[in-house]
Amino acid sequence: MHEEVLERIRERRWKPGDAIPREDELAREFGCARGTVNRALRALAEAGILDRRRRAGTRVALHPGGKATLDIPIIRREVEARGQTYSYALKIREDAVPPSAIREAMGLRRDDPTQRVLSVHSADGRPLAIEDRWINLAIVPMAAKADFTRISANEWLVTHASYTHGDIAFSAQAASDAEAALLHIDPCVPVFVIDRTTWYKADAVTTVRLTYAPGYRIHTRL
């Protein structure tokens, strides 16, 4: 069902913008229950292949497939999955007042308790990524007692803190002097950067910048 509809779209029998038959018509045509048709079409709509609206019916999306789902893996697992040996070094851990840009992004006041954790993840002994993180201790007080010399803040938070929503951004940056030193590269070299902030209801949980060594790419299938 799902596959048959996809096939008709790919064969261009149903083209972008076209309306396709109603659920009950398709159910008769395929000789199945409407619920089955509904499930198949809803899945295709979630994938961005179809546009569905009550009363207006179902149409092939104008720009089908304009979505990609990325895995955001734990760095350790990513390294180990490539068969490399992972290592990790904690560089800075301090209770400190974040710079105003961070405070603003997290919606924090100057007197909110925050902890900064800066560490380097390495693959086969070579620096792979810098993790520069600020944790809101008011929301995750347990983090103050966690042993970030053994497990990365990245990994600790994934299993010990929950979030309701967040945002993530990918960009290209020139390595700063400090970043270059940690990654053993020259300053101003292009590096791939991921900025992520997560929230629990109205409160920021943590914000992190991951700065990857040159050559890093995020890859996914469509």
Closest CA to 212 of 137, 144, 136, 123: 123
Q: Decide if residue 12 touches its own copies (CB under 8 A).
A: yes
**Phi-psi category of residue 83: left, alpha or beta, with phi > 0 → left and psi -120 to 50 → alpha:** left
**First CA to last CA across the chain, in angstroms?**
20
Among 167, 176, 177, 178, binds its own copies (CB under 8 A): 167
Contacting its own copies within 89-148 (CB under 8 A): none
Residue 68 in tokens: 């990609």
CB of 49 to DNA, least distance (A): 13
Binding of DNA at residue 62 (CB under 7 A)?
Answer: no
* Using rule CB under 7 A, residue 22 touches DNA: yes
Is 169 within 8 Å of 152 (Cβ atoms)? Answer: no
- In contact, 210 and 129? CB cutoff 8 Å: yes
Stretch that binds its own copies, among 51-59, 84-92, 108-116, 186-194 (CB under 8 A): 186-194
Of 2 and 97, the one with the shorter C-beta distance to its own copies is 2
Name the residue nearer to DNA (CB basis): 1 or 146.
1
Q: How far is the CB of 72 from DNA (least distance, A)?
A: 22
Listed as own residue / partner, the contacts of 23-26 with beta carbons closer than 8 Å and 24 or more positions apart are: 23/58
CA separation for the pair 131, 137 (Å, rounded): 18
Q: Which does 65 bind (CB under 5 to 8 A by kind): DNA, its own copies, none?
A: its own copies
For residues 89 and 120, the answer to whether their CB atoms sit within 8 Å is yes
Contacts of 156 (CB under 8 A, 6+ apart): 143, 146, 148
Alpha-carbon span 72 to 8, nearest angstrom? 33
Choose, by CB under 7 A, the member of 11, 31, 63, 111 that binds DNA: 31
Give the nearer residue to its own copies in terms of CB position, either 32 or 96. 32
Q: Does 73 bind its own copies (CB under 8 A)?
A: yes
Residues that bind DNA (CB under 7 A): 1, 22-24, 31-36, 38-39, 41-42, 45, 52-58
Residues that bind its own copies (CB under 8 A): 9-12, 15-17, 62-74, 77, 158-159, 162-174, 188-193, 196, 198, 200, 212, 214, 216-222
